[in-house]
Amino acid sequence: MLSRSFTRETAPRVPSYRRHKPTGQAVVTLNGHDVYLGEHGTQASRAEYDRLIGEWLAAGRCLPRPDSDLTVAELALHYWQFATRYYVKNGHRSTFLSTIRLALRHLRQVYGPTLACDFGPLALQAMQDRFVRAGHSREYVNKLCAVIRRGFKWGVSQELVPSAVCQALAAVPGLHKGRTAAREPEPVQPVAEAVVEATLPFLPAVVADMVRIQRLAGCRPGEVCSMRPCDVDRANEEREKEGQEKLPYWSPNQLRHSAATEIRRRFGLEAAQTVLGHAKADVTQVCAERDMSLAAEVMRRIG
């Protein structure tokens, strides 16, 4: 009995497999560092957890060193898997993923077999030149290169790449206006109101409403696409609705009575009977209310 108690109290604790809420990935904390394992609850992520724990225990409860055999293509794949889970808002993938996909595709094509630890500043500058030759604007070239830097920085955070690689890539400056062959993007010009109005009838109803909202609010296209009803302040609409609720209810048939009353007031009972198509005047009297103000005017004149 004593030996069992002693075993339980002194048995070394193993870091737990748990879920990282912001990304939905499985994660384990080793020596104060979070290591992501893939999608939480999957067999692959649990296998990765078992592998890491085994290596961690074998290394004397120390984090394994960066994998010197990791290629750029493998790093790109790992980062893409992370990005597709991270760049998500309100259940929708960010449009920024298209930029990440393009940057990683070019990176794999040129430096896929290269060891990630050997990718340096000259390689990043070569990627800059490739993007320029592809016809991308200066701003977009800088954005694509920033994606590559971010991928290697993520690799450092996951103990996949030596930190020196990330530090070296940070030394490569972005392209500056007037100092590169990359084209400058055309400035965005406003669209004429008449053109927008002429376009609206050709758009689906939902898309047309999106255009109207963006024209009024000046928001970004991506913000319009991700907008939900709960994101819109509808306080004024509710107040208007409350005001409308105070109005008396009326039916379309009352419009006929209103017309009959007006005709009788202006042209007499016989005219109202003729317009409404009544065979008898007493039916017209039911539809056309007596004009008491006219009676009052008659009595005033008579004295």
CATH number for the domain spanning 19: value is: 3.30.160
Asked whether residue 147 falls in the same domain as residue 123, the answer is yes
pLDDT band at 126 (very low <50, low <70, confident <90, very high): very high
CA–CA distance from 202 to each of 176, 216, 233 (Å)?
A: 41, 20, 28
Asked whether residue 5 falls in the same domain as residue 113, the answer is no
How many C-beta atoms lie closer than 10 Å to residue 25's C-beta?
20
Asked whether residue 115 falls in the same domain as residue 205, the answer is no
Residues in the chain, total = 303
| Domain termination site, one of 64, 92, 111 | 64
59 compared with 155, residue with greater pLDDT: 155
Model pLDDT, residue 112: 92
pLDDT digits (tens, 9 = 90+) for 63-106: 655 556 889 999 999 999 999 999 988 788 888 999 999 999 99
Asked whether residue 238 falls in the same domain as residue 271, the answer is no
Please state which of the ranges 6-20, 48-62, 167-181, 197-211 shows the lowest mean pLDDT.
6-20
Asked whether residue 40 falls in the same domain as residue 73, the answer is no
Report how many domains make up the chain: 4
CATH number for the domain spanning 105: value is: 1.10.150.130
Give the whole-angstrom CA distance, residue 260 versus residue 111: 86
Backbone φ/ψ region at 135: left (φ over 0), alpha (ψ -120 to 50), beta: left
Model pLDDT, residue 6: 39
| Domain termination site, one of 245, 268, 288 | 245
Q: Are 28 and 37 in contact (CB under 8 A)?
A: yes
Residue numbers of the domain that contains 289: 253-302
Give the whole-angstrom CA distance, residue 72 versus residue 161: 10
Give the whole-angstrom CA distance, residue 296 versus residue 259: 21
Asked whether residue 79 falls in the same domain as residue 151, the answer is yes
Mean pLDDT computed over every residue of the chain:
81
pLDDT digits (tens, 9 = 90+) for 7-28: 444 456 889 999 988 888 889 9
Asked whether residue 71 falls in the same domain as residue 167, the answer is yes
pLDDT digits (tens, 9 = 90+) for 224-270: 887 877 777 777 766 666 656 666 666 666 766 777 777 777 887 77
| Domain termination site, one of 138, 165, 187 | 187
Asked whether residue 77 falls in the same domain as residue 167, the answer is yes
Asked whether residue 75 falls in the same domain as residue 117, the answer is yes
pTM to 2 decimal places = 0.51
Give the whole-angstrom CA distance, residue 164 versus residue 117: 9
Give the whole-angstrom CA distance, residue 225 versus residue 185: 24
